[in-house]
């Protein structure tokens, strides 16, 4: 039996800038995020026959296929099935997946599950690929499922954990661990699920197309996101956490101008109530339009902010920032 797990993440700044070729045309800006201890988990067991049994506990769905060759092209479990078709295990197996992140939360649950799946299948088929190769494999498989441009950022915290700066170059994309102890952020961040699964408040394809077409308004907002992200990266490298709220607020202001649908009314209500209780800044997680909102709070105000969010209909998610990434273990 093989068990693997990978952490989800909170994106701090620079989302959207990690989409090819935006990061090239914008001068290779960073995207910042941090891994959290809400994990995606995969359990894989070999079978004596050629059957493939796939169960998603999040979707409450279990399917049995006669063999790898019988897997359909389109299916609710397509992400898992495409990974199976890529690795083509030589014998039958059972896969069970689940994620601790709420559905549509915007904290990278599907990408963490994807990385956990790559880790398990790579181990099962003899570790044909190096750890660093799992990121492009996962990204390309997820792009096949979503059929829309996707960024790089979600896969790196799932793979390596910690507080990261993800940055492209002419040679490709890489992630650098920032000199920030993950636990130093725990008392300053509240993560709240709005109760509304996100419906992608930002349309990556429309933003990408507009930017490449030279839309000055879109480029101006992207530049503002870039500048806020660079400022936040400098503050994190220097350990100046007191500057985080300012940069987070600037990034969110520019992001709302880029994609007004990213902040639905329920999220706005939660943010306003939290700020009255001691939150200094906030932003939607991931594509927004619902899902989770993260809030940067004053020292000593985390509990008060959390209570206020609950009173206003939010679901506060208990979590901690973590330095661990993908873990794969075999037994039996």
Q: Distances in Å between the alpha carbon of 111 and those of 150, 194, 200, 277, 291?
A: 11, 21, 15, 33, 15
pLDDT for res 37: 98
Same domain? 211 vs 152:
no
The verdict on residue 323 lying in a domain is no
157, 179, 201 - which closes a domain: 179
Same domain? 26 vs 158:
yes
The verdict on residue 324 lying in a domain is no
The verdict on residue 57 lying in a domain is yes
Q: What angle do CA 119, 125, 126 make, to 5 degrees?
A: 90
Is residue 5 classed as helix, strand or coil in its secondary structure? strand
Same domain? 195 vs 151:
no
Residue 220 pLDDT greater than 80, yes or no: yes
Same domain? 155 vs 192:
no
Same domain? 208 vs 163:
no
Q: CATH code at 172?
A: 3.30.230.10
Q: What value does the mean pLDDT take over residues 5-10?
A: 98
Residue 201 pLDDT greater than 90, yes or no: no
pLDDT for res 40: 98
123, 157, 179 - which closes a domain: 179
Q: Beta strands of 156-303 (E only): which ranges? A: 163-169, 172-177, 189-193, 279-284, 292-297
Write the pLDDT tens digit of every residue in 66-88.
Answer: 999 999 988 999 999 999 999 99
Tracing tokens 């993908």 back to the chain, one arrives at 326
131, 153, 179 - which closes a domain: 179
Same domain? 17 vs 118:
yes
Same domain? 169 vs 49:
yes
Q: How does the average pLDDT of the chain come out, rounded?
A: 95
pLDDT for res 103: 86
Q: What value does the mean pLDDT take over residues 304-321?
A: 97
CA-based Rg of the chain, rounded to a whole angstrom?
Answer: 20
Q: Identify whether the C-beta of residue 193 lies closer than 8 Å to the C-beta of residue 265.
A: no
pLDDT for res 204: 87
Q: What value does the mean pLDDT take over residues 206-235?
A: 97
Q: How far apart are CA 161 and CA 175, in angstroms?
A: 10
pLDDT classification of 332: cutoffs 50, 70, 90:
confident
Residue 198 pLDDT greater than 80, yes or no: no
Domain count along the chain: 2
Same domain? 234 vs 141:
no
What token pair was written down for 248? 């987070």
Tracing tokens 């006669």 back to the chain, one arrives at 66
The verdict on residue 83 lying in a domain is yes
Same domain? 169 vs 133:
yes
The verdict on residue 322 lying in a domain is no
Residue 247 pLDDT greater than 90, yes or no: yes
The verdict on residue 327 lying in a domain is no
Q: What value does the mean pLDDT take over residues 12-37?
A: 97
pLDDT classification of 64: cutoffs 50, 70, 90:
very high
Residue 197 pLDDT greater than 80, yes or no: no
Same domain? 162 vs 250:
no
> Could you tell me the residue range of the domain that residue 30 belongs to?
2-179
The verdict on residue 328 lying in a domain is no
Q: Which residues pair with 4 in a beta bridge?
A: 42, 328
Write the pLDDT tens digit of every residue in 131-164.
Answer: 999 999 999 999 999 888 889 999 999 999 999 9
User: HSE-up of 47 (CA within 13 Å, CB side)?
Assistant: 18
pTM: predicted TM-score of the whole model, two decimal places: 0.96
Same domain? 191 vs 304:
yes
Same domain? 150 vs 217:
no
Q: CATH code at 283?
A: 3.30.70.890
pLDDT for res 165: 98
The verdict on residue 325 lying in a domain is no
Residue 15 pLDDT greater than 80, yes or no: yes
pLDDT for res 200: 67
Q: Distances in Å between the alpha carbon of 90 and those of 81, 82, 143?
A: 15, 15, 25
The DSSP element (H or E) to which 234 belongs, if any, is helix 216-238
């Amino acid at each position: 039996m093989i068990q693997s797990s990978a952490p989800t993440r909170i994106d701090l700044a620079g989302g959207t800038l990690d989409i090819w070729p935006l990061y090239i045309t914008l001068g290779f800006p960073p995207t910042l995020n941090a891994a959290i201890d809400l994990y995606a988990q995969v359990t894989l067991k070999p079978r004596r026959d050629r059957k493939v049994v796939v169960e998603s506990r999040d979707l409450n769905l279990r399917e049995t296929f006669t063999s790898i060759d019988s897997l359909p092209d389109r299916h609710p479990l397509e992400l898992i099935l495409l990974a199976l078709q890529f690795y083509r295990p030589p014998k039958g197996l059972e896969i069970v997946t689940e994620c601790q992140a709420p559905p549509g939360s915007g904290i990278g649950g599907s990408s963490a599950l994807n990385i956990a799946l790559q880790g398990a299948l790579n181990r099962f088929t003899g570790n044909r690929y190096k750890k660093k190769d799992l990121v492009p494999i996962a990204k390309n498989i997820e792009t096949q499922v979503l059929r829309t441009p996707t960024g790089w950022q979600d896969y790196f915290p799932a793979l390596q954990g910690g507080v990261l700066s993800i940055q492209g170059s002419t040679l490709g994309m890489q992630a650098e661990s920032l000199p920030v102890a993950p636990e130093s952020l725990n008392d300053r961040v509240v993560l709240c699920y709005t109760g509304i699964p996100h419906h992608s408040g930002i349309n990556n394809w429309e933003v990408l197309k507009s930017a490449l077409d030279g839309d000055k308004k879109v480029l101006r907002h992207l530049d503002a996101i870039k500048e806020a992200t660079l400022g936040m990266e400098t503050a994190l490298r220097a350990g100046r956490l007191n500057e985080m709220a300012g940069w987070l607020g600037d990034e969110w202001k520019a992001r709302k101008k880029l994609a007004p649908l990213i902040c639905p009314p329920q999220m706005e209500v939660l943010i306003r109530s939290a700020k009255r209780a001691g939150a200094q800044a906030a932003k939607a997680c991931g594509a927004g339009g619902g899902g989770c909102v993260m809030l940067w709070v004053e020292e000593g105000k985390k509990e008060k902010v959390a209570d206020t969010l609950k009173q206003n209909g939010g679901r506060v998610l208990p979590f901690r920032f973590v330095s661990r990434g993908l873990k794969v273990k075999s037994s039996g």
